């Protein structure tokens, strides 16, 4: 398990002078530290989690967003029990993303397993920018997509203002 703090700190939860300096300088946050300690503890018993890299942790309205190293998400999805134990350790919903993905890829991940059909930029008369996402329309989908939560996560992560629309069905 790799984290923003050193191995010693992640294992003990006490900060060495080097990592304290990073925390004071704002290079890492208290949440980064707490998350590193939690995940490192899990990694001792979980080989899948042990292979992960934590890049950064963020909080969005009580939920946790973990930004991971590239390729980490694929490994995790093959091991849903590891995702479960991460959620359990944090005691809240944990969003898992890779840190270096594009906005488009992030949108696909945030709506997963719902497929994103199109993404467009919309400029408003006041000069602000909206990201318009179109999702397929099928019965019951609206309930599966928690629009407010997703909007908040995207705003926290990338400063994106998102508008969600559903594909309009045309008669065959």
Is 9 near Zn ion (CB under 5 A)?
Answer: yes
95 touches 86 (CB < 8 A): no
CB of 9 to Zn ion, least distance (A): 3
Between 9 and 58, CB nearer to Zn ion = 9
> Which stretch, 1-9, 35-43, 102-110, 115-123, contacts Zn ion (CB under 5 A)?
1-9
Bridge partner residues of 98 (DSSP): 68
User: Residue 66 class from Cβ within 10 Å (0-12 exposed, 13-18 middle, 19+ buried)?
Assistant: buried
Return the structure tokens found at 101. Answer: 């993905």
Q: What angle do CA 101, 20, 9 make, to 5 degrees?
A: 75
Return the structure tokens found at 58. Answer: 């963020």
CB of 21 to Zn ion, least distance (A): 10
Is 23 near Zn ion (CB under 5 A)?
Answer: no
Dist CA 17 CA 26 (whole Å): 14
CB of 8 to Zn ion, least distance (A): 5
Is 16 near Zn ion (CB under 5 A)?
Answer: yes
Total binding residues toward Zn ion, as defined by CB under 5 A: 4
CB of 46 to Zn ion, least distance (A): 22
Between 4 and 73, CB nearer to Zn ion = 4
- Pairing outcome for strands 129-135 and 162-166: parallel
Dist CA 107 CA 156 (whole Å): 13
Is 122 near Zn ion (CB under 5 A)?
Answer: no
State the DSSP code for 124: -
> Which stretch, 4-12, 70-78, 127-135, 159-167, contacts Zn ion (CB under 5 A)?
4-12
Is 19 near Zn ion (CB under 5 A)?
Answer: yes
Interface ranges with Zn ion (CB under 5 A): 6, 9, 16, 19
């Amino acid at each position: 398990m790799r984290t923003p703090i050193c191995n010693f700190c992640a294992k003990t939860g006490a900060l060495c002078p080097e990592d304290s300096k990073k925390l004071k300088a704002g290079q890492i946050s208290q949440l980064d530290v707490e998350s590193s300690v939690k995940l490192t503890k899990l990694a001792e018993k979980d080989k899948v989690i042990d292979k992960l890299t934590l890049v950064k942790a963020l909080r969005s309205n009580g939920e946790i967003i973990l930004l991971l190293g590239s390729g980490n998400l694929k490994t995790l999805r093959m091991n849903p029990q590891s995702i479960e134990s991460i959620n359990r350790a944090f005691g809240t919903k944990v969003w898992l993303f890779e840190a270096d993905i594009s906005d488009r890829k992030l949108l696909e991940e945030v709506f997963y397993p719902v497929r994103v059909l199109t993404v467009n930029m919309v400029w408003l008369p006041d000069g602000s920018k909206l990201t318009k996402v179109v999702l397929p329309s099928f019965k019951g989908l609206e309930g599966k997509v928690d629009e407010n939560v997703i909007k908040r996560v995207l705003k926290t992560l990338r400063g994106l203002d998102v508008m969600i629309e559903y594909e309009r069905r045309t008669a065959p």
